[in-house]
Structure 1
Amino acid sequence: MKKAYVFPGQGSQFPGMAAELYRSHPDAMNLFEQANEILGFRITDVMFSGTEEELKQTKVTQPAIFLHSVVLALTLENFAPDMVAGHSLGEFSALVAARALRFEDGLKLVYARAMAMQEACDAVPSTMAAVLGLDDEKVEEICKQIDGIVVAANYNCPGQLVISGEKEAVQKACDALKAAGAKRALPLPVGGAFHSPLMQPASEQLGKAIAATHFNTPICPIYQNVTARPHTDPEEIKANLMAQLTGPVRWTQTVKNMVADGATVFTEVGPGKVLQGLVRKIAPEVEVNGIQ
């Protein structure tokens, strides 16, 4: 029986997140206070008592989700994963939980990632859209036929794929996808085209920070977004992490590969239950639970 631990990405935040964890565990409190010092502002105040709108601030969202997940993992008793994975931002949480990255290094990279992504978003009017009810191949094929930049970005589960690109190209793709039989193809309330070529400036910026950071061999394989395959070599992990901002999140393929490699129990660590729902759709035969 192999245990897989998975870590959520952006969109899982909620007001009051991790407040109970902070209050109930001295080690957790220390890690959160360390994070406040590293970031130079009290992110915990926004997490525990901020509004939904305040939690959506670029400098807050990604580090907040990362902190909730990572502090949980680092303070869990008997945390012994056979494999880990994270959805987009969650890959950084997975790397810290699997000891490939130090806590403070992971937090600094996540903060740098958030700010670099915001800059790239401000540069070009861009967006993402959720497509439901079409095969992945059909979505890819239609995106290739659209003028402008639009690509498959998140392979979330069978019949659910997120596309990403220039606003106009995404809108044209949505119209074409609906005409081809998609149940829904609707733009998402996001600030930009994540996991697309439009993130190249952010990728270059973050790449420099990743290159300058020391990575260890993790305690178990990490299945990375861009390959959906297990990795333990620090240099491979860094290269895949650098490619992550412009490459797709292959979540469907990741979960299938983890199951093929023996995972029978999936535990989502962090805020929300998004990944639990996706794993159930991809691999209904496995046991799924969560720790918040």
Structure 2
Amino acid sequence: ELHTALTALAEGRDHPALTTGPTRTTTGPTPWALILSGQGSQRPGMGHHLYTTHPAYAHALDEACEALNPHLDTPLQHIMFAQPGTPHANLLNTTLYTQPALFAHHIATYHLLQTHGATPHALIGHSIGELSAAHLNGTLPLTLAADIVTTRAKLLNTLPTGTTMLATLTDPHTLTPHLQHHPDIEIAAYNSPTATTLAGPTTTLNQLATELTTAGIHNRPLKVTHAFHSTHTEPILNTFHTHLTELFKHHTPTTHTPTIPVISNLTGTPATPQQHHDPTYWTQHIRQPVHFHQGITHLTHTHHITLYTEIAPHPTLTPHLPPHTHTTPHHPNPQHTHTTTLTT
């Protein structure tokens, strides 16, 4: 397929695997951002091949798991590397282990990229991915981040069952008339202009999914066990806030401004170290919708980023990136640019 596509390029023909367009004319390295996936991107065996073939990944994963495992009943590597269909592999899809596993994979893959000289200009995570980012840019020490991640996962895992999430390929405006008939369903994530995630009771979401399909709106359930970023998380918020308040008392906030900004899921703009050391911020981070699209828009227009790399066991955010972006009007030579994505 690659050979055929390159031949088509040489001959000036179109091909499904070929994308062409004007390139950046600026000199110097292309600014790029690292995307850290959220829950739903996990899969059995995640990271195992990297662990057995890349010492940098293995060393960083061992360090991350050493910080995470004291808070877990089962060593995280046993969960991540389990064969599909086994009891340990099934545990990977429980929030208790999904979120620590993704955090560990993010950390290890980032360090692997760094051994190849790849340092991003910005970090943007999706839900649990922002916690990974806040550690990677030096704001949260590993032991502190590990405590926050596992506490978050444990508390969310205690929420009542019967809720879930639904990914839809449409915009919030189009969803509005459908949501008016289902007031217990909320928007949980703004992923792109044409991708919106919903959260709510499973029975109601299934009814809505049928309605959306009938209306020609593509949708699919997510691999989650609870309705994150919705009112259904409220029973655990006070406990989480109290735990973080005590936790941060024993950690001095970062005084320097990190060299790599982290884009906030709450605002779609760079988060400050003070926010990432604020219990209220991380509590609202659980409750409020993820503004991923707003964050990508900010990176595109303010930081002129047109290249993204997604760290994920399975690509879930790459499809939400715009196929093409434009440089900001402040650029001296605004031109059409191509957005490229890579996935680990």
TM-score interval (norm. to shorter):
0.7 to 0.9
Separation of aligned partners in 2, 1:156 and 1:60: 24
1:153 and 2:188 matched: yes
Separation of aligned partners in 2, 1:135 and 1:28: 38
Q: State the TM-score, normalized to the length of structure 2.
A: 0.73
Runs of 5+ unmatched residues, structure 2: 1-29, 327-336
Separation of aligned partners in 2, 1:188 and 1:24: 31
Runs of 5+ unmatched residues, structure 1: none
Distance change (3 Å), C-alpha of 1:258 and 1:115: same
Distance change (3 Å), C-alpha of 1:2 and 1:62: same
CA contact (8 A) 1:280 1:286 kept: no
Pairwise CA RMSD of aligned residues? 2.7
Please identify the structure whose Cα radius of gyration is greater. 2
Structure 1 match to 2:37: 8
SS at match of 2:159: helix
CA contact (8 A) 2:164 2:225 kept: yes
Higher helix share: 1
Separation of aligned partners in 2, 1:105 and 1:138: 41
Which one is further off, 19-28 or 57-66?
19-28
Which one is further off, 212-221 or 151-160?
212-221
1:197 and 2:231 matched: yes
CA contact (8 A) 1:256 1:282 kept: no
1:207 and 2:232 matched: no
Structure 1 match to 2:263: 223
Q: State the TM-score, normalized to the length of structure 1.
A: 0.85
Structure 1 match to 2:75: 42
1:260 and 2:301 matched: yes
Separation of aligned partners in 2, 1:71 and 1:15: 17
Separation of aligned partners in 2, 1:58 and 1:5: 23
List per-residue Cα deviations over 1:184-221 (Å, max 9, x = no partner). 34544531211101111233333334332344343322
List per-residue Cα deviations over 1:74-107 (Å, max 9, x = no partner). 3423343221110111111111111111122222
Pick one of 291, 314, 337 that aligns with 1:250.
291
Q: How far is the alpha carbon of 1:29 from its aligned partner? A: 3.4
CA contact (8 A) 1:131 1:163 kept: yes
Pick one of 121, 132, 148 that aligns with 1:93.
132
CA contact (8 A) 1:266 1:287 kept: yes
Q: How far is the alpha carbon of 1:146 from its aligned partner? A: 3.2
1:112 and 2:148 matched: no
List per-residue Cα deviations over 1:86-131 (Å, max 9, x = no partner). 0111111111111111122222211111111111244xx3222222
CA contact (8 A) 1:43 1:60 kept: yes
Distance change (3 Å), C-alpha of 1:176 and 1:48: closer
CA contact (8 A) 1:151 1:164 kept: yes
Which one is further off, 49-58 or 271-280?
49-58
